[in-house]
Amino acid sequence: MDTDRDIVRRYLCDDARDTRIITTRLIESVNAMLSHQNMPIDVRKLCQEMAAAAAILANILKFEGEMILQLKGNGPINFLMAECSSKGQVRATGQWEESIKAGSFRELVGTGHLIVTVSPTQGKRYQSMVSLNSDSIAECLNEYFKNSEQLNTRVWLSSDGSSVGGLLIQRLPSEGGYQRKHEDAWSTVAALAQTVTEAELISDAGPVLAYRLFNELHPRAFSPWPVIFECSCSKERSARALQTLGKADLELLFQDQTVINLDCHFCGQLYLYHRADLEWIMSDQLPKSERLQ
């Protein structure tokens, strides 16, 4: 029985104690979040990889909040977005041209940026970006980690449209910083991780893969971290889009139609706004966290 579906797991190796290993394999959660979006297969794969990456990175958070990844390019796939909360709630969506054809990552997304946002529930957001100069989402993230002042980190991702797997290795500084005696252990973990295949990520990301890759280092798995599809949309949050139009334009809209329909791209939920809602939409009654800043 497959017990590691929609799970993120952390591992530490007895013989490489300064290295964190994380795996994830998402199936039900990523299929549920995309079931209504009718994505072409290439868009679906990349969207699932974004979700897996967000889940892995959210698992590392030491506070309540969200990990948000956004890809903005000028190719046939011009926008992808994935979010995962510190509670394992994931969602994702994308935008693409109807005439999209199969192609490489660079052909599909063109030029642009991958934006990484850490959004704590309490405190200030941290945002960084990296150019889309690599050949995959994983390589873009690797470039992001390389350019940032964070811990040495490598990521691998792969999706077949139904299942997505991910692997992360991260070097943890010992007290007082990195120690030379652990250099060989990190190099060994990195070399072993580099041998992972896309098929292994898709089918076995979890304890099976961790043991297969790192068994000589004696990996130990920690408690599983479940991932579920759950959308954080609400009528109040959706109203923010209407706020941006301004009161005058909203009044004109309501003159043309009695009800404005807005649907959530992430989950398909439909929200209805009537003429009587206009004052509420433009007032200070929206929860502060939902209002435009």
pLDDT of residue 262: 79
Q: Which residues of the chain are under the pLDDT cut of 70?
A: 1-3, 149, 174-183, 284-293
pLDDT of residue 24: 97
pTM for the predicted model, two decimal places = 0.86
Q: What is the dotted CATH code of the domain comprising 235-290?
A: 3.90.1280.10
Tokens representing 147 are 């350019």
Tokens representing 210 are 């961790």
DSSP 106-175: HHHH-SEEEEEEEEESSS--EEEEEES-SSSHHHHHHHHHHHSSS--EEEEEEE-SS-EEEEEEEEPPBT
Q: Do domains 7-229 and 235-290 have the same CATH topology?
A: no
pLDDT of residue 176: 52
pLDDT of residue 2: 58
pLDDT of residue 17: 82
Tokens representing 25 are 């394999």
C-beta pairs of 196-199 under 8 Å, 24+ apart in sequence: 196/156, 196/167, 198/158, 199/158
pLDDT of residue 69: 97
Q: What is the pLDDT of residues 23-74, one digit of tens each?
A: 999 999 999 999 889 999 999 999 999 999 999 999 998 889 999 999 999 9
Question: Buried b / exposed e across 145-172, counting CB within 10 Å, b at 16+?
Answer: beeeeeebbbbbbbbbbebbbbbbbbbe
| Site of tokens 């903005």 | 72
Where are the domains positioned within the chain? 7-229, 235-290
pLDDT of residue 246: 82
pLDDT of residue 179: 54
7-229: CATH topology is: Hsp33 domain (3.55.30)
